[in-house]
């Protein structure tokens, strides 16, 4: 496994692979890898000849008050895990390699980011779209894999790729959960034991919502109220949003008469967790 | 010469060329070609194995009150001219091929566009950066050629390519002028005979400015005043801006003690003309 931290070198490797008719698959990550990332890496491994994983904690998607500095990092462990998965190249650049001085160009979307996480994190998706564009131009993949846990992010990437005619297949990988149902996230490492208990309320609430929908409840606002009440009954939780919305546009749905996205963002202590599920009628 | 109007077909041609180790050069245009475009095409021809010229009047860079509908078009003549220059592919898509419904992704720069043309045309450079990103992803060139007549646009493209790590060489082609000094522009076709006379004041004014700088005048505001007075003395002219600025940042310069960009935008009748020149001390 090669570790590359230079943009030009990574581009040269990608060019070489393409000359050799190799298919390049790419999994962008912010490192501190867990089973969720590994599941994406395994999907990508099957699709390509050259598998590139990036590890880069992207400053432009964090607001000043957010956890950029505290975000967990463990490059050595990440390298060991990627090596074990048969990754060919880890692209792990320094910040100023990706954001040189005088940097001023951003990629942004007008509609998808005005919903859900974009409300409390107004620069987040601009940061994501920008860094993913950069990484795509550096790694030159044929296909890239993103997790469905970050549903809105996946939607942003799909829309951006389509809108800007990036010639890249985007694959969504299923959310991987701990045995007790907590969605895998690098930020789970922030949770104390009690907070971790409270964090389970997200998945439990979504399952209850699914059961309610299956039993014939179609009123989204009723399900949202019940979800909020349930999560709030757990110590240390503070709800950012609970939404039931169109899976493509993310616009709120009042009546659940077709598959609907249920999406949650909840602070547990100071850790912000997100999760989502498609609610299906029976 | 092939004429392609489909994105996927163009991408397939680009992939094929790259597989064959061919170098792709690209000249994006809005059509209604003149000697200025042809000079860029000739530069590109020397640099590549596959020469692609796009002809696409880009709606996203025109404000509603601007001349998108009236912008001159003559595809047949353009095809004849490109064929004669040895162009391999003309990419000439319909609008909805480039801007499908639900389109919402834009590329924008934070600093370069707040100067010069960006002041009276606030969405212009966002439209340019967005369409050029799209075209780069479709044509997949190794190198692309833009005219220096659109100096600020060239600066935007260079910055964007560098900021987003697009692996493309950007070449600036010199401004081509009519025998009487008027910079070539598709919009020159709008000018009446009298207006065309007035339009010559732009180049004349820049030449006077250059002479003044060579003779030791270093006060930018004095040169700007004289330029404005000179141009305004010509019938039908209305100045948008006359600026003397840093050639990289486009920030105003007060004292001309190093090479400075002189940039002009003037309406002659209802036709907006731009021109520029680097002022050099003796």
- Check if the beta carbon of residue A109 is closer than 8 Å to that of residue A156: yes
Nearest to B137 among A103, A104, A167 (CB): A167
Amino acid B16: pLDDT: 96
The closest of B118, B103, B86, B130 to B240, measured between CA atoms, is B118
Q: Tell me how close the Cα of A123 comes to any Cα of chain B, in angstroms.
A: 14
What does the alpha-carbon distance between residue A147 and residue A23 come to, in Å, rounded to a whole number?
21
Collect the ranges in chain A with pLDDT lower than 50.
none
What does the alpha-carbon distance between residue A110 and residue B78 come to, in Å, rounded to a whole number?
35
Kindly name the residue from A34, A37, A65, A179 that is annotated as catalytic: A37
Contacts of B111 in chain A (CB under 8 A): 104
Tokens 């994406």 found at:
A40
Contacts of A259 (CB under 8 A, 6+ apart): A247, A278, A279, A280, A281
What mean pLDDT value characterizes chain A?
97
Amino acid A136: pLDDT: 98
Chain A residue nearest residue B160, CA to CA: A105
- Range list for CATH 3.30.1300.10 in chain A: 186-277
The closest of B203, B158, B186 to B36, measured between CA atoms, is B186
Q: For residue B31, what are the CA distances in angstroms to A88, A96, A131, A206, B91?
A: 45, 39, 33, 55, 11
Q: Is B80 on the interface with A (CB under 8 A)?
A: no
Amino acid B282: pLDDT: 83
Token pair listed for A154: 């996946």
Each of the 282 residues of chain B gets a pLDDT tens digit; together they read 999 999 999 999 999 999 999 999 999 999 999 999 999 999 999 999 999 999 999 999 999 999 999 999 999 999 999 999 999 999 999 999 999 999 999 999 999 999 999 999 999 999 999 999 999 999 999 999 999 999 999 999 999 999 999 999 999 999 999 999 999 999 999 999 999 999 999 999 999 999 999 999 999 999 999 999 999 999 999 999 999 999 999 999 999 999 999 999 999 999 999 999 999 998
Contacts of B18 in chain A (CB under 8 A): 18
Nearest to A163 among B105, B109, B140 (CB): B105
**Stated pTM of the model:** 0.97
Nearest to B104 among A102, A138, A159 (CB): A159
DSSP annotation string for chain B: -EEE--HHHHHHHHHHHHHTTPPEEEEEE-SS--HHHHHHHHHHHHH-SEEEEEE---GGGS-TTSSTTTS---HHHHHHHHHHTT-SEEE---HHHHS-TT--EEEEESSGGGSTHHHH-TTHHHHHHHHHHHHHHHH--SEEEEEGGGHHHHHHHHHHHHHTT---EEEEEPPPB-TTSPBP-GGGGG--HHHHHHHHHHHHHHHHHHHHHHTT--BHHHHHHHHHHHHHTSTTEEEEEEEEE-TTT--B-SB-SS-EEEEEEEEETTEEEEEEEEE---
The closest of B45, B163, B50, B175 to B110, measured between CA atoms, is B163
What does the alpha-carbon distance between residue A75 and residue A77 come to, in Å, rounded to a whole number?
5
Tell me the β-bridge partners of B237. Answer: B268
Q: Is B75 on the interface with A (CB under 8 A)?
A: no
Q: Measured on CA atoms in the order B156, B157, B158, B160, is the torsion positive or negative? A: positive
* ipTM for the complex shown: 0.97
Tokens 């330029």 found at:
B227
Radius of gyration of chain A from Cα atoms? 19
What does the alpha-carbon distance between residue A36 and residue A150 come to, in Å, rounded to a whole number?
11
Nearest to B159 among A11, A18, A104 (CB): A104
What does the alpha-carbon distance between residue B84 and residue B193 come to, in Å, rounded to a whole number?
30
Instruction: Say which DSSP state A182 is in.
Output: P
Contacts of B16 (CB under 8 A, 6+ apart): none
Amino acid B25: pLDDT: 98
Contacts of B102 in chain A (CB under 8 A): 159
Catalytic residue annotation of B: 37
- Check if the beta carbon of residue B253 is closer than 8 Å to that of residue B244: yes
Q: Is B139 on the interface with A (CB under 8 A)?
A: no
Amino acid A282: pLDDT: 83
- Edge-to-edge strand ranges of the sheet holding B237-245: B237-245, B260-268, B271-279
Amino acid A217: pLDDT: 96
Query: Is A2-173 assigned to CATH 3.40.50.620?
Result: yes
The closest of B68, B84, B81 to B30, measured between CA atoms, is B68
Q: Is B102 on the interface with A (CB under 8 A)?
A: yes
Pairing of strands A2-4, A89-91: parallel
Pairing of strands A237-245, A260-268: antiparallel
CA B279 remoteness from chain centre: 20
Which of A8, A100, A105 to mutate to test binding with chain B, by most B CBs within 10 Å of its CB? Answer: A105
Q: Do B105 and A102 touch (CB under 8 A)?
A: no
Nearest to B165 among A138, A163, A166 (CB): A138
- Range list for CATH 3.40.50.620 in chain A: 2-173
Which of A22, A102, A165, A170 to mutate to test binding with chain B, by most B CBs within 10 Å of its CB? Answer: A165
Contacts of B84 (CB under 8 A, 6+ apart): none
Q: Do B107 and A105 touch (CB under 8 A)?
A: yes
Q: Do B107 and A110 touch (CB under 8 A)?
A: no
What does the alpha-carbon distance between residue A135 and residue A19 come to, in Å, rounded to a whole number?
20
- Check if the beta carbon of residue B113 is closer than 8 Å to that of residue B156: yes
Please give the CATH topology (third level) of the domain spanning A186-277: 3.30.1300
Token pair listed for A227: 């979800």
């Amino acid at each position: 496994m090669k570790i590359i931290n230079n943009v030009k070198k990574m581009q040269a490797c990608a060019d070489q692979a393409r000359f050799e008719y190799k298919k390049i698959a790419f999994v962008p990550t912010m490192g501190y890898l867990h089973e969720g990332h590994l599941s994406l890496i395994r999907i990508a491994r099957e699709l390509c000849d050259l598998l590139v994983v990036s590890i880069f904690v992207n400053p432009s998607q964090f607001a000043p008050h957010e956890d950029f500095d505290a975000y967990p990092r463990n490059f050595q462990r990440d390298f060991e895990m990627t090596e074990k998965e048969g990754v060919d190249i880890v692209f792990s650049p320094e910040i100023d390699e990706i954001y040189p001085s005088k940097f001023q160009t951003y990629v942004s979307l007008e509609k998808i980011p005005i919903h859900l996480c974009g409300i409390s994190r107004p620069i987040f998706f601009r940061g994501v779209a920008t860094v993913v564009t950069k990484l795509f131009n550096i790694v030159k993949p044929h296909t890239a894999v993103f997790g469905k846990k970050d549903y809105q992010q996946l939607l942003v990437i799909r829309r951006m790729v389509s809108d800007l005619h990036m010639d890249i297949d985007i694959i969504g990988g299923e959310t991987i959960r701990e045995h007790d149902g907590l969605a895998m996230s690098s930020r789970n490492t922030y949770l104390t034991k009690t907070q971790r208990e409270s964090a389970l309320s997200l998945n439990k609430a979504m399952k209850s919502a699914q059961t309610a929908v299956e039993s014939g409840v179609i009123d989204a606002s009723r399900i949202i109220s019940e979800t909020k009440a349930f999560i709030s009954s757990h110590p240390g939780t503070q709800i950012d949003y609970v939404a039931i919305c169109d899976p493509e546009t993310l616009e709120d749905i009042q009546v659940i008469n077709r598959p609907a996205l249920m999406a949650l963002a909840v602070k547990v202590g100071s850790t912000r967790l997100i999760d989502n599920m498609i609610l299906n009628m029976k």
